[in-house]
Amino acid sequence: MFSDEHLYSIALRKSALVGDAIFKRLIDAEGSAEKVWKLPKRKITKTYGIGEKISADIGNENHLKFAEKEIEFCLKNQIKIHLRHRKDLPKLLQQCDDAPAILYQKGVFNEEIFPVSIVGTRNITAYGKHFVEELLEELKTLGIQTVSGLALGVDSEVHQKSLEKNIPTTAVLAHGFHTLYPSKNKILSEKILENGGALFTEFNTSQKPDRENFIQRNRIVAAISPVTIVVETAFGGGSISTVTFANSYNRDVYALPGKITDKYSQGCNQIIAQHKAATISTVKDLIKDLGLNEPKEKIGELFPKSEIRLQMTDEQQQIYNIIKNHPQITLDELSEIAGVATYKILPLLLEIEILGYIKSFSGRQFQVI
């Protein structure tokens, strides 16, 4: 099941300070982990400019022994080992420059099923729970699978509701398969596997759920899907890193807006205002944007348009009318026509977009919905 290349790859990645970038650099040059492992120290240092501290640890027999035990563990626990340089990773993740050198997998990840990454705060509110429920209820017949991080809050809600609605779901972990964090989600992780889902991690069995691992984990959540949906997050919440990764991978990002006074909507409102995420005004529009089949039954809007007109101020109405008469108008053009500085228009645009009247595009363009 596993080859010598798996053995040497694990040993090489275990070497001190050999991260994914150095690993890739050496493998690209030599062709295999085994060849890198057996290189003379001088060649590693002089030919590839790798520091002596790093090169000295490549070839360490203790790492090879660790790799042997790691493979034994994987065999015993039905864990697959994917190697990036052998193009084993899920196809979307494989395309990313910072993809992990090694990815461990339990369970089944069917790449033929459209993946949707859904993330958010550990402090999910009733508003967030309602949105997850409504979204997955409409997506359950549209041939999708969900991806999240198995954390408490939004992640757990996504995995749990996916299971209830018979939607395949995948969790990306921030530690090795020798443990499960948070421990209260152990049963949930087992149900994910029992129901045809998967668990992924780039971390081996020596790695605990350290704080920095969660940000590393987030890049895989963002990379493995063509779209990331942010349900709720505060300013500076962990989901913001997932959005940053998704943007860098040119993935679509959507965020659920909320009241500016609600702590766990403030992060969503911010990334919408910064054009790092598109606004979710209705589930129907979101499904349409994702290119999925239209559901048979009518979907209720999160922000009914009949209510929006009553809430529009004169300033909002003025900006809205200009956009309506000039489809896909840019921010600068809007500022010129309205005779208002861009920094004064931006808050109005966010308010109108949150109300569900307009939609923003890349290049700071806007059009009515």
pLDDT tens digits for 188-247?
Answer: 999 999 999 999 999 999 999 998 999 999 999 999 999 999 999 999 888 999 999 999
Label residue 296 by pLDDT band (50, 70, 90). Answer: very low
Task: Give the dihedral of Cα atoms 291, 293, 297, 301; nearest 10 deg.
Answer: -10
CA pair distance 128, 153, nearest whole angstrom: 9
CA pair distance 263, 257, nearest whole angstrom: 11
Q: Which two tokens stand for residue 157?
A: 């809600």
Task: Give the residues across from 247 on adjacent strands.
Answer: none
Across the chain, how many H-helices and E-strands are there? 18, 12
Q: Identify the sign of the CA torsion 269, 277, 219, 229.
A: positive
- DSSP helix/strand/coil, 315: helix
Report the b/e string of 69-98 with b at 16+ CB within 10 A: ebbebbeeeebbbbbbbeeebbebbeebeb
pLDDT tens readout for residues 19-75: 999 999 999 999 999 999 999 988 898 888 888 888 999 999 999 999 999 999 999
- pLDDT at position 299 is 47
Q: What is the CA radius of gyration of the chain?
A: 23
**pTM for the full predicted model:** 0.80
Label residue 295 by pLDDT band (50, 70, 90). Answer: very low
